[in-house]
A = this chain, B = another copy of it.
Amino acid sequence: MLTNERHAYILKKLEKKQTVKIQELVDETSASESTIRRDLTELENQQKLERVFGGAILPGRNLIEQSVTDKSTQNLNEKIQVARAAAELVKTGDSVFLDAGTTTFQMVPFLKNKDLVVVTNGLTLLDTLNEYGITTYLTGGLFKPKTSAFVGSQTIQALKNYRFDICFLGVNGLHEEYGYTTPDPEEAAIKLLASSLSRKTFVLADHSKINQVSFAKIMDLENAILIIDSMPTEKLDAYRKKTSVKVAHE
C-alpha cells in the first residue's frame, strides 16, 4: 500500500467514523504500528487531523478559527485585561485601525455594538470581527503565513486611503531609550503609518515586554499612549515623564 493510499484511507475512515484507533488501522492496512503512528503525526502537521491517545480525531476548525483558539498565547489573561481597557477608549461611530496581533485580537469581543468601521491587516481578526457584526475592511497585500498579517507596498497603499479616529498597535519590545520595537521591519512600517493616519494612537503591551528590544523600531515612546497590565512603580514614574501610561486594572 502506497503512503498516499494509507493517508487517504485514514482520512476517509476518520471522516466517516469521527475517530480512528491506531490498532484498527494496523490491522486494516497491514502496516506496522510505527508506520501508522508516523502517518498520523504527518497528517496532524498538515492539520488534517488531531492526535489523541491511541488514535486521532477530526481537527478542531478551519485555519482561521484555529489561530483563534490558539491556546499557546502567552500571558493571555494579562492581554485580555489590556484589551478590555483599550476597547473602553473606543467611542460609538469611531473609525478604528487594529494591528495584526494577539492582543488586538482580544479587543474584538469588547468592541461590539459600537457601530464602528474597523480596518485591519490581520487575517485572524477578520473572522471574529465579522462574527460580532462589525463592518471590516482588510488592507490586503502580501500575506505572511507566519503572523497571518498582510504587509508590503500594497498594504501601505491601501492604508493611505483611510483616516482613523483611533488606532491600536501591539508591540514586542518596550524600552525607555529605544522606544517601541517589533521583530519585522515590514510590520513596523505598517504600524508607524497607521499611527500617522490616526488622531490618537495606543500601544498595547503586557508587562513581559518591558525593557525588551526587538529588531525593528516602530516609534519613540512620546508618540503613543501606552496601555499595559502592570508596571513597577519606579519604572512607571520614569515612563510617565516621557508619555502617557494607562495601567489596566481588573
List chain A positions with a Cβ less than 8 A from chain B. Answer: 2-5, 7-8, 11-12, 15, 19, 21, 43, 46, 48, 52-55, 57, 62-64, 66-68, 123, 126-127, 130, 135-143, 145, 150, 152, 154-155, 157-158, 161
A127 to B43, CA, bound (A): 17
Can you sample 30 A-B contacts with CB below 8 Å? Answer: A2-B19, A2-B52, A2-B53, A2-B54, A2-B57, A3-B52, A3-B54, A4-B52, A5-B19, A8-B62, A11-B67, A11-B68, A12-B67, A15-B67, A48-B64, A63-B127, A64-B127, A123-B126, A130-B145, A135-B142, A137-B140, A138-B140, A138-B150, A139-B140, A140-B140, A140-B150, A154-B158, A157-B157, A157-B158, A158-B158
Contacts of A43 in B (CB 8 A): 64
A158 proximity list for chain B (CB < 8 A)? 140, 154, 157-158
Closest residue of chain B to A49 (Cβ to Cβ) is: B68
